[in-house]
Amino acid sequence: MNRSAPDTHEPTLDYHDLALAAPKAERYAELRRRVAALVEHEDDWLANLANAAAEVFAWLPHLNWAGFYLMRDGELVLGPFQGRPACVRIRVGRGVCGTAAATRQTQVVPDVNAFPGHIACDVRSRSEIVVPVVVDDEVVAVLDLDSAELASFDDEDRAGLEALVAALAPHVDWARACAS
């Protein structure tokens, strides 16, 4: 266990203002740097996913929920997140999360009410993006972001979040994270 992690805690005030001031590509480049600083000296999967979810939630504007569902025994189980309590288990193929897991494709949903089978965990959610985490050709998790605004996410968000997930994945012990 590496306990030499630097103290990367910073006040979260003005996060959204800073993020909104930057074009989306730079906003996500900065988010990647922030998450990398949090996880690069730590190998505890729970700590790293928890801090990644917290950083995403703190940094990106308009979110009411951000977090991970972990693939455990063939279904998605709620993992580290920020936001209101959420549904715990989602079957592959169900809802936006289960669709991302089944198709291995990021789901960008501009209006959750227009997505057949959307699972409403937080009534405030209006739009959603779910990025599958694929490691060694297996879906190990999904990253789910909900927004209280319609059409919050576009192709730049998809690219930014897919790059974030790719950078984060090597810092997570997925065998442990996905053990039931």
The contact set with ligand SME (CB under 6 A) reads 65, 86-87, 90, 95-98, 118-119, 121, 125, 128, 144, 146
CB of 76 to ligand SME, least distance (A): 8
Closer residue to ligand SME (CB): 37 or 119: 119
Closer residue to ligand SME (CB): 7 or 109: 109
Euclidean distance between CA atoms 135 and 174, whole angstroms: 8
Closer residue to ligand SME (CB): 44 or 162: 162
Q: Look at residue 28 and give its three-state secondary structure.
A: helix
CB of 44 to ligand SME, least distance (A): 23
CB of 84 to ligand SME, least distance (A): 8
Residue whose Cβ sits closest to ligand SME? 95
Euclidean distance between CA atoms 28 and 22, whole angstroms: 9
Closer residue to ligand SME (CB): 40 or 91: 91
Closer residue to ligand SME (CB): 29 or 92: 92
CB < 8 Å & 24+ apart, contacts of 40-44: 40/171, 41/2, 41/4, 41/5, 41/6, 42/2, 42/5, 42/171, 43/1, 43/2, 43/171, 43/173, 44/1
CB of 87 to ligand SME, least distance (A): 6
CB of 67 to ligand SME, least distance (A): 7
Euclidean distance between CA atoms 108 and 114, whole angstroms: 12
Euclidean distance between CA atoms 62 and 67, whole angstroms: 14
